[in-house]
């Protein structure tokens, strides 16, 4: 099956406003089906989870449904799906829990390529435990993080390695299976930030070798929340801070307070929307894999068009040229402040923001500076006309 982009676009009310959204790496627009699921859940008569009243059972069904949906999206087990307010909050909580077993002499590896949400929690936790933080650099020209970059930092004292599945700044996609094999060879755990990877490719957590895999529904057409996926057996070994009467079961022991049922319903709707993009297979996991394969091919074609156009505009400088990447471009205009380019594009109905996008270590490492650069990211609802619109507008701004 092929991607029917016109049909897909008709499901996004935000696109009726006439703005071209290249800001998907920071958060995608939401299809009507997702918004309807959120609204319906909030008005359905719902309460804390339980088995006595219909309202309690309704909440329980929503939570179980969302766990199953995220598991189908990334290839995990529903019993290993943890929900949180955000990926950042979840990683902060997880890092504190894991660091209880760390001490002087232990080592944690982070990378310069990552979003700070997959750096700072581990740095803070390691420092408090007296453990050592080791930094994996990446190639400044290509923006590629290789196996060797990570392996150079591994020792028999490595306890955990945190690495991105895809850079939200540059699109770079490290070879996760190879990195995972090296990490596991020294007996360490691998925490993967899959926030930017999940919206663009078929994901199989086991094949990637991730012990922990974090993602954010609002990056794949859903509402604002976060999810962590791991094996239930591994989660059972981690003891997070929790209230005395709250459940000690996995995954509930990691979920502080009452879950946002409406957002979980929206997450399920987002996964269902993705599964139906380009597949009619019998089960949802198969539909997700087939649909995301088609999405990856479509975005690759469209991104090639965007890159060719950017290279042809005077004064536009592209940052990084990774061989494996998501459809995400970071660029500057010579002689222009990134904020001015951002504003110039916004004035022309194009959302293509400028920032460091919380990948502060990466922009500093590459010499771009804390002001960052302009980012254009494609999403499943982006079409050829919008790419042409961006290129035309950027040429005007660059002049």
Read off the pLDDT of residues 119-141 as tens digits, 9 standing for 90 and up. Answer: 999 999 999 999 999 999 999 99
Which CATH number do you get for residue 99? 3.40.640.10
Q: Are residues 111 and 223 in the same domain?
A: yes
The whole-number pLDDT of residue 1 equals 80
Q: How many CB atoms lie within 10 A of CB 112?
A: 20
Kindly give, in sequence order, each residue whose CB lies less than 8 Å from that of residue 94, ignoring residues fewer than 6 positions away. Answer: 121, 191, 212, 228, 238, 240, 254
**Domain limits at 225?**
36-274
The predicted model gives 145-149 an average pLDDT of 98
CA dist 354 and 350 (Å) reads 12
Residue ending a domain, among 243, 274, 305, is 274
| 3-state SS, residue 212 | strand
| 3-state SS, residue 108 | strand
Q: Can you say whether the dihedral through the CA atoms of 381, 387, 389, 395 is positive or negative?
A: positive
Kindly give, in sequence order, each residue whose CB lies less than 8 Å from that of residue 43, ignoring residues fewer than 6 positions away. Answer: none
Residue 19 lies in a domain: yes
pLDDT surpassing 90 at residue 57: yes
Q: Are residues 108 and 74 in the same domain?
A: yes
11, 135, 189, 266, 271 from 115: Cα distances, Å: 30, 14, 19, 25, 24
The whole-number pLDDT of residue 74 equals 98
Kindly give, in sequence order, each residue whose CB lies less than 8 Å from that of residue 354, ignoring residues fewer than 6 positions away. Answer: 338, 339, 341, 342, 371, 372, 373, 374, 375
Residue 357 lies in a domain: yes
60, 86, 309 from 195: Cα distances, Å: 26, 10, 27
Q: Are residues 366 and 243 in the same domain?
A: no
Q: Are residues 170 and 131 in the same domain?
A: yes
**In this predicted model, what pLDDT tens digit does every residue of 155-205 receive, in sequence order?**
999 999 999 999 999 999 999 999 999 999 999 999 999 999 999 999 999
Please report, rounded to a whole number, the percentage of residues in the chain having pLDDT higher than 90: 99
7-16: Cβ within 8 A, 24+ apart: 8/277, 8/380, 8/381, 9/381, 9/383, 11/273, 12/381, 15/381
Q: Are residues 138 and 237 in the same domain?
A: yes
Q: Are residues 205 and 309 in the same domain?
A: no
**In this predicted model, what pLDDT tens digit does every residue of 349-390 receive, in sequence order?**
999 999 999 999 999 999 999 999 999 999 999 999 999 999
The whole-number pLDDT of residue 95 equals 98
Domain count, the chain: 2
Residue 381 lies in a domain: yes
Strand 226-230, strand 81-84: pairing: antiparallel
Q: Are residues 222 and 297 in the same domain?
A: no
Q: Are residues 178 and 51 in the same domain?
A: yes
Residue 279 lies in a domain: no
Residue ending a domain, among 250, 274, 298, is 274
**In this predicted model, what pLDDT tens digit does every residue of 219-262 receive, in sequence order?**
999 999 999 999 999 999 999 999 999 999 999 999 999 999 99
Q: Are residues 105 and 25 in the same domain?
A: no
CA dist 263 and 249 (Å) reads 22
Q: Are 15 and 29 in contact (CB under 8 A)?
A: yes
Q: Are residues 222 and 81 in the same domain?
A: yes
CA dist 269 and 275 (Å) reads 10
The whole-number pLDDT of residue 287 equals 98
Q: Are 192 and 207 in contact (CB under 8 A)?
A: no
The most distant pair of C-alpha atoms in the chain lies apart, rounded to whole Å, by 67
Residue 114 lies in a domain: yes
Closest among 326, 323, 291 to 306, alpha carbons compared: 326
pLDDT surpassing 90 at residue 312: yes
Q: Are residues 208 and 293 in the same domain?
A: no
| 3-state SS, residue 214 | strand
Residue ending a domain, among 274, 298, 314, is 274
Q: Are residues 129 and 9 in the same domain?
A: no
- Indicate the average pLDDT of the chain: 98
The predicted model gives 72-79 an average pLDDT of 98
Residue 10 lies in a domain: yes
Closest among 67, 47, 64 to 56, alpha carbons compared: 47
Q: Is residue 186 within a helix (H) or strand (E), and if so which, with residue range?
A: none
Which CATH number do you get for residue 19? 3.90.1150.10
**N- to C-terminal Cα separation, the chain:** 42
Residue 235 lies in a domain: yes
71: confidence class by pLDDT, cuts 50, 70, 90? very high
Residue 254 lies in a domain: yes
């Amino acid at each position: 099956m092929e991607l029917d982009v016109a049909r897909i676009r008709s499901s996004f009310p935000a696109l009726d406003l006439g703005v071209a959204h290249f800001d998907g790496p920071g958060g995608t627009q939401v299809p009507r089906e997702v918004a309807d699921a959120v609204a319906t859940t909030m008005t359905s008569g719902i309460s804390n989870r339980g088995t006595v009243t219909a309202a309690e059972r309704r909440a329980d069904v929503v939570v179980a449904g969302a766990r199953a949906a995220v598991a189908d999206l990334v290839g995990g087990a529903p019993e290993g799906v943890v929900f949180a307010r955000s990926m950042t909050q979840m990683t902060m909580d997880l890092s504190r829990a894991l660091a209880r077993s760390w001490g002087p002499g232990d080592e944690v590896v982070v990378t310069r390529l990552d979003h700070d949400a997959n750096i700072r929690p581990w740095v803070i936790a390691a420092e408090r435990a007296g453990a050592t933080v080791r930094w994996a650099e990446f190639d400044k020209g290509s923006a590629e993080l290789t196996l060797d970059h990570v392996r150079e930092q591994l020792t028999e004292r490595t306890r955990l390695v945190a690495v991105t599945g895809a850079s939200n700044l540059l699109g770079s996609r490290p070879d996760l299976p190879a990195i995972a094999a090296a990490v596991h060879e020294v007996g360490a755990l691998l925490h993967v930030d899959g926030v930017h990877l999940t919206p663009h490719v078929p994901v199989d957590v086991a094949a990637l070798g991730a012990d922990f895999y974090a993602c954010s529904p609002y990056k794949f057409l859903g509402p604002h929340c976060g999810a962590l996926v791991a094996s239930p057996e591994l989660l059972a070994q981690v003891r997070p801070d929790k209230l005395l009467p709250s459940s000690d079961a996995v995954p509930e022991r990691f979920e502080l307070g009452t879950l946002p049922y409406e957002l979980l319903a929206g997450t399920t709707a987002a996964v269902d929307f993705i599964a139906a993009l380009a597949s009619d297979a019998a089960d949802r996991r198969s539909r997700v894999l087939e649909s995301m394969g088609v999405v990856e091919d479509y975005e690759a074609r469209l991104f090639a068009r965007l890159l060719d156009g950017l290279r042809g505009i005077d004064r536009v400088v592209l940052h990084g040229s990774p061989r494996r990447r998501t459809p995400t471009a970071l660029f500057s205009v010579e002689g222009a402040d990134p904020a001015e380019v951002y504003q110039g594009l916004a004035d022309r109905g194009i959302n293509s923001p400028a920032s460091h996008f919380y990948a502060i270590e990466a922009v500093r490492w590459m010499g771009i500076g804390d002001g960052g650069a302009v980012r254009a990211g494609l999403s499943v609802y982006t079409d050829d006309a919008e790419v042409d619109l961006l290129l035309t507008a950027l040429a005007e701004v660059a002049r």
